[in-house]
Amino acid sequence: MGIIRNCWLLLIFLLFMTKSAAAQNSWIRINQIGYLPNATKVAVWVSKEDNNPAKRFELREARTNKIVFKSNKTEKFDAYAAFKKGSRLDFSKFNQEGEYYLQSGSTKSPVFRINAAVYDNTADHILQYMRQQRCGYNPFLQDSCHTQDGFRVFHPSGDSAHINTVGGWHDATDYLQYVTTSANATFQMLFAYEHHPEAFGDDFDANGNPGKNNIPDILDEAKWGLDWLLRMNPAKTEMYNQLADDRDHVGYRLPNHDKVSYGKGLERPVYFATGKPQGSFAYKNRATGIAYTAGKYASAYSLGAQLLAKYYPNYAQNLEIKAQEAYAHGLANPGVCQTAPGRAPYFYEEDNWVDDMELAAIQLSKITNRPEYLEQARRFGQQEPVTPWMGADTARHYQWYPFLNLGHYYLATQSEADKQIFAGYLKKGLEGVYNRGKHNPFLMGVPFIWCSNNLVTALVTQCYLYRQLTQDNQFAAMEASLRDWLFGCNPWGTSMIIGLPDKGIYPKAPHSSLTKLNGYVLNGGLVDGPVYGSIYNNLKGIALEEPDEFSPFQSRLVVYHDDFGDYSTNEPTMDGTASLSFYLSAMQKEGQQPVLKKSKKKK
């Protein structure tokens, strides 16, 4: 009888909570991780009723409910996504550390912190996911996987010969591996360490096991990527672009129990970069050259050579040689390589390559001091001033990748003349996205294509870099909105990064075998993020496995689901996660700046 009584009590509680949630019609969305004292601090009030937007608000101390700041500094917006009205609530002038909540009328926000340390250790936190994604030896599972990789395909001397390509990272929940994303992830982590070395600790060894090895963990992780790139590029003109294909997509299983066969035991196919259209079955990509792959190899090798010389001098010397060889191969084979489709028509449709060669050239100029590399970088950079997705409504999958052109940033640091040109290019891209998003309360101008969170991460990084280069704060509000979007100031009120903050709302049911089968938490993983309703409604094989807790916030414009079954919005990605390392480490550094004196109240 006690069990029956408890079940009835639980049912009554759930009905009460459902009724209460249904009765609520307005919400205040905040950055759940909190706000730095000096930061732009804006929350977003949204309502599903066509009533008057919030005109004033209060900031209250969480423990005492005391009003510590109040303001009528609000900016009003009409309908967006699932909401009929919205307001931006700006409390940037308040900078006292503590725990607070916002209130407008009867609507209250969750409790959040204002504290200089809110981003401390977050850049190291995301490395947990990178270690979970390791192929070969996997420290999270304490086991190895895919140890027989692989056999080459599309090689001019014939298919099926064995080549050792064990290592690297699984791209996402599937176990495919691409130079495209792996080289970019490697570079992004190196870039983060180059600029903010003090943000990273040493708690793991080179294999990803607990224990110090006197090398920052982020460099251990980047070297894991470099080791794999070297295996995929064993000779000057022998480059491979991809390991495995979509025959991998046969359901949930742990990587160390993967039994998928490609016809040669447990070896997987390794795709030779031919520079021509490629595909193992009926579908082909649109490859035109090799520079897009060669440039990515060369830039990762170059920055790796600079940062690893202290720890691995001979290894770094080899990286420098390999960088020059890869770049030369790219010069000789201009064009895009693209990844290879399998039985389905899907692949990474990257259509630009001059950005890859620009970044490679500027990195080579730094390690060789040869002026011709710098001039070549300028010429490549001027061919594509703005990464084409910026300001656009849509794009094909990974069509303009990497989503951020770091070559422009490096060139802008070379001289005042270069700054005028290349910081100007960065500004033009930011303007395009800002103008697209300035009419909604979240200032969200990023198109909701697949992996939209990766675009958000790229854009918030570009905002920060532009601000640092120019001391121009005109995009500070957009930077704050993008940052806050990732941590819960979005229509669904959820963080997009697993485990951040640890007591917040974040993805609990990511599309992942590790979580689905064993309940493992993928700490640090950045999920794909919301997509247009039109994209979601036309995808095949999606079926939600649980009631949608975010159903009041879905719209024809955009959807997001925290559900195992939604591979389009809730699958963590390795490259998106790695790309967060720079911005999170930058925020940790900003938190260490002296707190500026600001007024406490504005009525």
Per-residue pLDDT tens over the stretch 447-468 = 999 999 999 999 999 999 999 9
Among 482, 489, 484, 494, which residue's Cα sits nearest to residue 562? 494
Q: Tell me, what's the pLDDT at 593? A: 86
pLDDT of 11 strictly over 80: no
Can you spell out the DSSP letters for 458-500? HHHHHHHHHHHHH---TTHHHHHHHHHHHBT-STT--BSBTTS
Name the residue with tokens 């969170």. Answer: 453
Q: Residue-wise over 396-408: b if at least 16 C-beta within 10 A, else e? A: eebbbbbbbbbbb
d(CA 355, CA 374) in angstroms, rounded, equals 14
Q: Please answer whether residues 347 and 339 qualify as being in contact, where contact means their C-beta atoms are separated by less than 8 angstroms.
A: yes
β-pair partners for 243: 177, 270
For residue 598, what pLDDT band results from cuts at 50, 70 and 90? low
Q: Tell me, what's the pLDDT at 143? A: 98
β-pair partners for 59: 69, 102
Q: What digits encode the pLDDT tens for the residues 329-364?
A: 999 999 999 999 999 999 999 999 999 999 999 999
The amino acid present at 455, given as its one-letter code, is L
Can you spell out the DSSP letters for 187-220? HHHHHHHHH-GGG----B-TTS-BS--SS-HHHH
Q: Tell me, what's the pLDDT at 110? A: 98
Question: How much of the chain exceeds pLDDT 70, in percent?
Answer: 95
Over range 211-220, report the average pLDDT.
Answer: 98
pLDDT of 595 strictly over 60: yes
Both tokens assigned to 370: 């040869």
d(CA 82, CA 154) in angstroms, rounded, equals 48
Name the residue with tokens 């979007």. Answer: 485
Q: Tell me, what's the pLDDT at 597? A: 62
For residue 55, what pLDDT band results from cuts at 50, 70 and 90? confident
Both tokens assigned to 165: 């390509």
Structural domains of the chain sorted by starting position, each given as residue range(s) with its CATH number in brackets: 26-114 (2.60.40.10), 122-496+572-589 (1.50.10.10)
Q: What digits encode the pLDDT tens for the residues 276-330?
A: 999 999 999 999 999 999 999 999 999 999 999 999 999 999 999 999 999 999 9
Rg, Å, the chain Cα set: 24
Distance of CA 13 to the CA centre of its chain: 38
CB within 8 Å of 350: residues ≥ 6 apart: 180, 292, 336, 337, 338, 398, 399, 400, 401
Q: Please answer whether residues 77 and 438 qualify as being in contact, where contact means their C-beta atoms are separated by less than 8 angstroms.
A: no
For residue 9, what pLDDT band results from cuts at 50, 70 and 90? very low
